Amino acid sequence: MTSTSENLLTHRKEDYDFFVVGIGASAGGLRALEEFFANMPADSGAAYVVVQHLSPDFKSLMKELLGRTTRMEIFRVEDGMEIKPNCVYLIPPGQNLEVRNHRLQLQRQDRDRPGPNFPIDIFLQSLGEDAGERAIGVVLSGTGRDGSESGGIGMVQAPATAEFDGMPHSAIATRIIDSIGSPQELAEVIYDFVKAPANEEKNNEPRSKLALDSFRL
């Protein structure tokens, strides 16, 4: 392989000039997602990747449903798709999803493999590794403990506002969460943060100062 080819394949975290928001949701997540995107302006400059627990036996209507709440362009992820700002990407049923070098990589879930599958953890961990401080992980309503792994900035739906609070409680228990709030509040926090990263860096304020409700135990 030539050095030129190697340079094309080598990606550094600092090459991200926009934020990528990974959103994990399971049971009760539709309402939370609708509330989140209804309160997220289409000009944030960030990209949004939604990872849900979807049955491979049923067609997902998430694209059509979220299309009623946002003017951002919505895509069902295809393998190798490049992430672009002001767009929403939806995981397809029966797949795990990772991001590598700005591109979304699909891997079919092995339904015969013993033990649970955690697609939200898989994606958020890869996002943190790929985007570094440009990564934002959001955990919304759901059961179980998927969504406990993350990198970058971590935000969680307030359990009291979630239809199912298992995933929010599990994420909070990690003690590495920057903000907790309703889906509307999280959308507002994220928008303010991603629209003013230069000001935050200039002032050298801790990222938790930008959160609506900084998490404390």
> Which residue, 146, 137, 157, 143, is CA-closest to 213?
157
What's residue 57's pLDDT? 62
In this structure, is residue 74 part of a structural domain?
A: yes
In this structure, is residue 36 part of a structural domain?
A: yes
Mode of pairing for the β-strands spanning 47-52 and 20-25: parallel
In this structure, is residue 3 part of a structural domain?
A: no
What's residue 207's pLDDT? 41
In this structure, is residue 178 part of a structural domain?
A: yes
Residue 5 in tokens: 């080819």
Q: How many domains does the chain have?
A: 1
What's residue 94's pLDDT? 87
In this structure, is residue 6 part of a structural domain?
A: no
In this structure, is residue 217 part of a structural domain?
A: no
CATH number at 94 reads: 3.40.50.180
Cα–Cα distance measured from residue 96 to residue 94, given in angstroms and rounded to the nearest whole number: 7
210: which DSSP letter? G
Q: pLDDT by residue for the chain (217 residues), tens digit each?
A: 333 333 334 444 557 899 999 999 998 899 999 999 999 999 999 999 999 987 666 677 899 999 999 999 999 999 999 999 999 999 999 899 999 999 999 999 877 676 677 899 999 999 999 999 899 999 999 988 877 776 689 999 999 999 999 999 999 998 788 999 999 999 999 999 999 854 555 454 444 333 434 333 2
Mode of pairing for the β-strands spanning 135-139 and 103-108: unpaired
Q: How many CA atoms lie within 13 A of 189 on its CB side?
A: 26
What's residue 27's pLDDT? 87
Conformation bin of residue 14: beta by default, left when phi > 0, alpha when psi is -120 to 50: alpha
pLDDT one-digit tens code per residue, 128-182: 999 998 999 999 999 888 777 766 899 999 999 999 999 999 999 987 889 999 9
User: What separation in angstroms does the CA of 198 have from each of 17, 22, 84, 135, 155?
Assistant: 11, 21, 20, 16, 21
In this structure, is residue 194 part of a structural domain?
A: yes
What's residue 161's pLDDT? 97
Residue 175 is part of which domain span?
15-210
What's residue 71's pLDDT? 97
In this structure, is residue 216 part of a structural domain?
A: no
Residue located via tokens 């200039």: 202
- 3-class secondary structure, 158: coil
Cα–Cα distance measured from residue 20 to residue 50, given in angstroms and rounded to the nearest whole number: 11
What's residue 16's pLDDT? 85
What's residue 2's pLDDT? 36
